Amino acid sequence: MTQIQDKEYGGERPLYAIHDTRLERITIHPGESSIKETKNIEAIDCRFEGKYVFWETYGLKINNCYFADTARSSLWYSADCRMTRCKVDAPKMFRRMKGIYVEDTNFSDGQEMLWDCDDVTLRNVKIENCDYLFMHTDNVRIENYRQDGNYSFQYSKNVEIHNAVINSKDAFWEAENVTLVDCEVNGEYLGWYAKNMRLVRCHLTGEQLLCYVDGLTLEDCTFGEDANLMFEYSTVNGNIKGNVTSIKNPTSGTLTVEGNIGELIWDENQKQPADAKIIHNA
């Protein structure tokens, strides 16, 4: 590979169309599209300040690099990207990409990040200020993760998350094929209109959770005291450990509550549907 070390660049397209190149200790000052339309690039110990850095880049390894807050939209329209041990203060990272692997990396401004992507893996990642995260993104695998921001994972498909803390209002709206294992999820209106959600040993808080879900499975989950009016018009099966504040009008399924239910609400006629069975210790 060609090596470029200890250089500084600025302006528009200073490293346009390079390929098979290793960048070490490079600084990209403010400008646009500095490393656009490139192939087989390695960036190590670099600093990126300009916007639109890696567009149309195929085969990219980024290690121990820093993206300043001015480096917004730095990774778009690219494929086969591996990012490790980085610090990212730039918003709108990863858009319309396929094949993303991120490990040991923190994002301080995750606004509108990871939209319209496919085949995404995150390990040991923290994302803050991340409203509208993972919009229309499919085939996602996440482990050891924390996020703070609302409206996440909307319209996503095939999502599997282990050992995570997710603070997000309106998460997983209209998502499909979602599995959460050993997760804590805090936020209102979780999973509305989703299809095929499986939650294993999760703790959930927030109002009106998991309504209008087609195919909801709960395994040894627990709920906070504020989790009220849950499962309205949902098909729900499985078990809940501990007490729940209120359940409202699930349409079908068998749910065992290993504790008390503060309030069990059915439709206007207060009639339990024949296909909905709630077993509890009240």
How confident is the model over 157-169, as pLDDT tens digits? 999 999 999 999 9
The length of the chain is 282
Cross-strand pairs, 263: 246
How many contiguous H segments (helices) and E segments (strands) does the chain have?
0, 26
pTM of the model: 0.95
pLDDT, tens digit (0-9, with 9 covering 90-100), for 191-213: 999 999 999 999 999 999 999 99
Answer yes or no: are the C-beta atoms of 149 and 110 closer than 8 Å. yes
Confidence of residue 281 (pLDDT cuts 50, 70, 90): low
Mean pLDDT of 172-199: 98
Neighbours of 257 (CB within 10 A): 21
195, two tokens: 């299809």
Looking at every residue in the chain, the average pLDDT score rounds to 95
- Compute CA distances 97 → 48, 54, 228, 254, whole Å: 20, 11, 38, 40
Contacts of 268 (CB under 8 A, 6+ apart): none
Helix (H, G, I), strand (E, B) or coil at 107: strand
pLDDT > 70 fraction of the chain, expressed in percent and rounded? 96
pLDDT, tens digit (0-9, with 9 covering 90-100), for 103-155: 999 999 999 999 999 999 999 999 999 999 999 999 999 999 999 999 999 99
- Compute CA distances 1 → 34, 69, 77, 128, 138, whole Å: 19, 30, 23, 36, 33
Query: In this predicted structure, what is the pLDDT of residue 269?
Result: 62
Q: Which of 87, 132, 81 is nearest to 106 (CA)?
A: 87
Which residues in 60-72 are b (16+ Cβ under 10 Å) and which e? bbbbebbbbeebb
Please name the amino acid found at residue 160.
E
- Compute CA distances 20 → 3, 39, 54, 60, 82, whole Å: 9, 6, 14, 10, 15
Rg (CA), the chain: 22
Answer yes or no: are the C-beta atoms of 209 and 227 closer than 8 Å. yes
- Compute CA distances 271 → 25, 40, 216, 258, 268, whole Å: 69, 63, 22, 23, 8
Given a cut of 60, whether residue 282 has pLDDT beyond it is no
CA distance 66 to 86: 6
Answer yes or no: are the C-beta atoms of 154 and 131 closer than 8 Å. no
- Helix, strand, coil shares of the chain as percentages rounded to 5? 0, 55, 45
Answer yes or no: are the C-beta atoms of 225 and 206 closer than 8 Å. no
Neighbours of 16 (CB within 10 A): 12
